[in-house]
Structure 1
Amino acid sequence: MHHDQSRLRALLHAIIERLCQRHQLTLSLAVCLCLGLPAHANHANSSSNIKLPEIPSAIANETAVTASTSPKILNTQIQTTKSVSDINRLLPSETPADFSEPSLYALLDAEFAADRDDTERALTIYKQQSFKQDATAVFERALSLSLRNESVEDSLRFAKTWQDQNPDHVPAWFYVAHLALRAHDYELAGESLNRILSYDPRADLSEILIGIYPNTDEDKRELLAALQPIDSEQNASLSVLKAGLLYQFNEPEVAIVHIDRALARQPDYVPFITLRADILRKTEPSEAVIHYVSQARLRNPDSKSLYLYEIRYLLDLKQSEQAWQLLLDAHERFVDDEEITLLAALVSLDVEEYASADQLLNMLAKSPAYLDQAYFYLGISAERQQRFEQAKYYLNGVMQEDLVLEARRKVVSFELLNDDVDAAVATLEKLRKDFSLFAPDSFVMQADILWQQNEADEALRLLTRAARKYPNNEMLLFARVQLLDDKNDYIVKRTLLNHLQTLDPTNLSYQLSYAQLLLANERSSEQGLALATAIIEIRYDDPRYDNELHLQALNILAADALATEDYQQVIDYLQTPYDVFPTLRSGTLLLRAYQGQGNNEKVEALLADLQQRFSFGQRNINDRIQLY
């Protein structure tokens, strides 16, 4: 009898919703039918705005409870009802025998509250009812609501309190362990995991560990410290978690022990294999790592992930030919896999196997999802083979937003190679018509074309008009700044640069341009020198490091040193950078420094190098030097 009543209560929620939805019944009529009560006929045509939330399909698929099997709770005629308070009156008060079990009345009240977004009331009722006898399902519903509407810490407190009252309920151990990890309560997490593994050393912890990996080193260390005492020898999930943390803390020798334990349980599980390969990369030569991954790939020939891991590792090692051959093998095995096909095409381009690249890209172009990428790289392939008209055809066909700007930029450069300025400008005009998002970029490129045509004033007017249409667009503002003269337009240029630095105080390009402006108007300006020096002092491994900006800053500092006739300082700034990455600007500054020192041997050697690299000058030596 008790079992039947529990089952009926579990079904009641589903039945009410099904009756309301399928037959457009009022809630009161649905409840009446569920309870086996007579109802007024006109209920069938009335409507209700209340909709109960979805329920598990296992319950929803249960057969409806008929009047003959429903308990005869009320014997009175129920009149039309339209509100929750009306429904409350339909439900009976519990008998003393039911006090230890969850109240059906209270649970319906909680569901109505949740449906009306009164989550505070719903949670209060559900949590209260979850501490009654045989209330596991109520606890899980309460916890689900809590996770959606409360902090992880609040959910953890509730779950832990419930678990303490129900110490033998094993699923609650998993809930508490997961929530403790999410709340960064690693001491409690360790206790819970240890309890689970003591109960079942091979328990599947994958669900517990989803989405709990810490972001900070401090949290990772705390988690590792909590896990270390736990015996994870028979548990693959926990062994892998330990291995990953140890690997991140550069303890590969210990990490390999834990990942090998996991692999002993699941030897062909690809994520475990790739983690072991990552760890081996810290302790073994590259040949050993490649051998390990290659052997694992041969044991798992249908694993695309292992192919890609080995290919990317080969590319990291600059072994492009080997990566290309393996990619062709992968393409043969995964012939319909577009990701493999694209990667094979890109590596074909990298190793200058253009016939292979074109064949693969033309295959890829048959897929609508990859058409734009195929056209973009077909354009690159044609460009490298100096088939510029073909390259323009493909690049003009690219319409994918994240590729179109670079594609049109290349088309413009091809037009300019042919001295067809009108075609280049037409390409830019069409770009901003088709993609308004890139209108500022197109104006900047068009202004650059005008500047190259010695029409700097027209370029400045174009950018000024564009800036009115796109106020506070930093790209347009900075392009205007670069066209202004450091001396004649000092006030305007300084105002714009101050505004740009207000918009983005960390932008090094703005800072460097400001430094150049200051030094152009005040020789050896302390602020200007400080800004440029700060940029050259940024280390190459700093995320802010930019090689081009570094060289520009050196040129600015060298130009200031040249103005003060500190020729050796110019050479100290620029000789090594010029040897590594020669530019015309650096070369001419060096040339003047050596000329100032009277070092004719260096002058002649550097001049010859500039003539060869940059077609420097056209007249005699003194004229050429004075020109720059």
Structure 2
Amino acid sequence: MRQINGQNSTSTIKQYSSTLLLLGSMLCSSHLYAATSAYNTQRDHAIEQSMIAEFALAAQDPATALHNYTVLAIKSNSTSLKQRALNIALEQNDLKAALDIATHWVVQEPSDVPALFYLAHIALQAHEYELAAESLDKILSHDPSADLERILAGIAPESADDQVILLEALKNSQAKDNPSILVIIAALKAQNGEFEQALDTINQALKKRPKATNFILMKANLLSALGNEQQTRNWYSKASRQHKSNLEIRLAEVKYLIKLNDSQLALDKLEKILKKWPKAEEALFIAGLTSIDLGQYERAERYLVELRHSLEYQNDAYYYLALNAERKQHYETAKAYYRLVDGSLYTVSRQSLINIYTEQQRLNEALRFLTQERVNYPQYASFLYQAQAEILKKMGNKPAAIQLLDEAMQHLSDDPELIYAQVLLLDPFVERDRLDQLLTLLLDLEPNHPAYLNAYAYTLALQNRHLDQARQYAEQALEMEPDQASILDTLGFVAYLQNDFATAAQALQRAYDLSGNPSIGVRYARAVYMQGDLSNFSAILKQLQQKHPNDAALEPLNSLLLPKTIH
């Protein structure tokens, strides 16, 4: 709870505003009207302060706005002014001001349940746990069925100390046996890894509210966390039978079965769900993906086609319809579906489409398609240029690929991915000055990007110059990506050139273990040889020959073995 998610908390408070007070964000005229009705004798002053506050907000001066509204809220009986002041305080993440406003609100109107909701929520944010528990007690005394879990929405104690303090405050609450309090206590115990105790607590809550969906699902999650697979399955099965009209519970059971790789049973249950809820989009989507995994492609298509016009699942449906068609080797259908995908799956869908063109040996057609895509989807221009350059490289036309990327950089001069793509194409010996310029620009744009640091280090190593700088870049990259084989390989290469064969051998051994790349293995063997450890070198060479028996890169290593003495 040390770190507060201001955006989530603000939205939660505003949710209380709409659902509990039936008030949203107030227009300036609304604030003026409220101020007028609240201060008959001080009308002009209230209007003036409200106007100053609203103008201050418009002028990007929230401090003045918050000060004015806080003063008005504390002195006024107007609910709308208090709400406006709270919203501004929360938007500015000023918990002290928000707590002051909510506290005064409750003092003025001690029976106002929405005000108590505000106070409890903000007190939790501000780590005022006793105040939060006291507010919860008061809420439940007015409304025993209040949905208190929502107060904790967007707020989760992160430190163990905070969890213990909040837990003790709730345990000492007069309403500690209220099911809403019990479920919060159970959640806190689970956060602390006390799953058995959390399970006991949620069972108490279920006795009082056996139909509560979140209680039912929390118990399932706790059983799963305890590793009780059969008990978890039994609980989901029982809950699904008892709550046949609860789609959320029945889908949760299906997801758990899929997690256990019991996909066929999950699909059978989805079939029953879809008979009851034929338009349930999440069920249709899960059924489509599960059918693909089971190789039931016709069935998958039947489900996914239903989602073509879904606002939420349309792009996912098109993508998996394409994947489904590809699995059936219906490549033209797959390409047609891939072309329809947009949003977060755009790049992966177009890459899949390019792969089909490549398999069909229709690379010129792929180039024409990608050119048109740059017109239709200019927001993806960088990706599309890079994809075209990669195709030109595959076609053996590296100069055309470099020229295309030059064209791209005229429009997207500070795009690091485009610069990096060009770096990978340039010859480190012929284009040394151009490479230096691009690599320097890359590190100016993103100085801590491990791939870019590695590229510069490797380029310098290939050119056998500025090796100290190269090593610094490689070590810096390795700090961020300690298990990246390509970076370890670069560090080993640089260390080898610096005659630091011990470091080279250590880095290259790790790189080879991670990648299994024979070229890295050769460099590793050479580093060991240069240390003078011929027996270890022979053992490494033998291992490489066994793993890569037909690799020509190993041949030069044989010449390093000393010939046997002839007696």
- Cα shift at 1:494: 3.3
Structure 2 partner of 1:262: 205
- Cα shift at 1:265: 1.6
Return the letter of the residue paired with 2:487. A
TM-score (norm 1): 0.69
1:484 aligns with 2:426: yes
1:340 aligns with 2:277: no
Distance of 1:335 and 1:170 partners within structure 2: 40
Q: Please say which of residues 341-350 and 115-124 is displaced more in the overlay.
A: 115-124
More helix by share: 2
- Cα shift at 1:455: 1.9
* Per-residue Cα deviation, 1:23-54 (whole angstroms, up to 9, x for no partner): xxxxxxxxxxxxxxxxxxxxxxxxxxx95569
8 Å Cα contact 1:163/1:172 also seen in 2: yes
8 Å Cα contact 2:485/2:512 also seen in 1: no
Return the letter of the residue paired with 2:119. V
Return the letter of the residue paired with 2:279. D
- Cα shift at 1:260: 1.9
Distance of 1:486 and 1:214 partners within structure 2: 52
- Cα shift at 1:463: 0.8
Structure 1 partner of 2:413: 471
Return the letter of the residue paired with 2:463. N
8 Å Cα contact 1:182/1:212 also seen in 2: no
Structure 2 partner of 1:329: 272
Give secondary structure in 2 for the equivalent of 1:281: helix
Structure 2 partner of 1:144: 83
Structure 2 partner of 1:59: none
8 Å Cα contact 1:178/1:212 also seen in 2: no
Structure 2 partner of 1:98: none
Distance of 1:274 and 1:281 partners within structure 2: 11
Residue 451 of structure 2, aligned match among 509, 521, 528? 509
1:110 aligns with 2:46: yes
8 Å Cα contact 1:447/1:462 also seen in 2: yes
1:188 aligns with 2:131: yes
Distance 1:219-1:408 versus aligned 2 partners, 3 A rule: same
Gapped runs of 5+ residues in structure 1?
1-49, 57-83, 92-101, 131-137, 539-543
- Cα shift at 1:234: 2.5
Structure 2 partner of 1:304: 247
Distance of 2:164 and 2:225 partners within structure 1: 20
* Per-residue Cα deviation, 1:129-177 (whole angstroms, up to 9, x for no partner): 43xxxxxxx3x33421321334442242244345446667776555433
Distance of 1:376 and 1:248 partners within structure 2: 37
8 Å Cα contact 2:137/2:175 also seen in 1: no
Distance 1:400-1:171 versus aligned 2 partners, 3 A rule: closer
Structure 2 partner of 1:14: none
Distance 1:484-1:193 versus aligned 2 partners, 3 A rule: same
- Cα shift at 1:287: 1.8
8 Å Cα contact 1:175/1:208 also seen in 2: no
Residue 518 of structure 1, aligned match among 460, 468, 471? 460
Residue 553 of structure 1, aligned match among 478, 487, 491? 487
Give secondary structure in 2 for the equivalent of 1:364: coil
8 Å Cα contact 2:284/2:307 also seen in 1: yes
Distance of 1:162 and 1:407 partners within structure 2: 54
Structure 2 partner of 1:462: 404
Rg (Cα) greater in structure: 1
Distance of 1:171 and 1:621 partners within structure 2: 76
8 Å Cα contact 1:127/1:142 also seen in 2: no
Structure 2 partner of 1:572: 509
Return the letter of the residue paired with 1:359. R
- Cα shift at 1:434: 0.2
Distance 1:624-1:223 versus aligned 2 partners, 3 A rule: same
* Per-residue Cα deviation, 1:313-350 (whole angstroms, up to 9, x for no partner): 23333333333333333333321112211111112112
**TM alignment of 1:443-462, pairs within 5 A:** 443-462=385-404
1:242 aligns with 2:203: no
Distance of 2:69 and 2:555 partners within structure 1: 89
**TM alignment of 1:361-510, pairs within 5 A:** 361-365=304-308, 367=310, 370-396=313-339, 398-510=340-452
Q: Please say which of residues 230-239 and 423-432 is displaced more in the overlay.
A: 230-239
- Cα shift at 1:283: 1.9
Distance of 2:343 and 2:150 partners within structure 1: 39
Distance 1:554-1:311 versus aligned 2 partners, 3 A rule: farther
1:128 aligns with 2:67: no
Distance of 2:547 and 2:554 partners within structure 1: 12
Residue 605 of structure 1, aligned match among 546, 552, 557? 546
Q: Please say which of residues 431-440 and 121-130 is displaced more in the overlay.
A: 121-130
Distance of 1:386 and 1:162 partners within structure 2: 67
8 Å Cα contact 2:450/2:476 also seen in 1: no
Residue 194 of structure 2, aligned match among 238, 251, 254? 251
Return the letter of the residue paired with 2:252. Y
* Per-residue Cα deviation, 1:518-539 (whole angstroms, up to 9, x for no partner): 332338945544554565676x
Greater RCO (Cα-Cα under 8 Å, separation 6 or more)? 2
* Per-residue Cα deviation, 1:414-434 (whole angstroms, up to 9, x for no partner): 222222221010111011010
Distance of 2:48 and 2:514 partners within structure 1: 73
8 Å Cα contact 2:471/2:495 also seen in 1: no
Distance of 1:192 and 1:369 partners within structure 2: 39
Distance 1:173-1:468 versus aligned 2 partners, 3 A rule: closer
1:227 aligns with 2:170: yes
8 Å Cα contact 2:307/2:314 also seen in 1: yes
Between Structure 1 and Structure 2, how many residues are aligned?
Answer: 506
Give secondary structure in 2 for the equivalent of 1:506: coil
Percent identity at matched positions?
Answer: 25
* Per-residue Cα deviation, 1:291-321 (whole angstroms, up to 9, x for no partner): 1122112111122222232222233333333
**TM alignment of 1:151-162, pairs within 5 A:** 151-161=94-104
- Cα shift at 1:126: 5.4
Distance 1:537-1:152 versus aligned 2 partners, 3 A rule: closer
8 Å Cα contact 1:379/1:395 also seen in 2: yes
1:349 aligns with 2:287: no
Residue 155 of structure 2, aligned match among 202, 213, 216? 213
- Cα shift at 1:284: 3.8
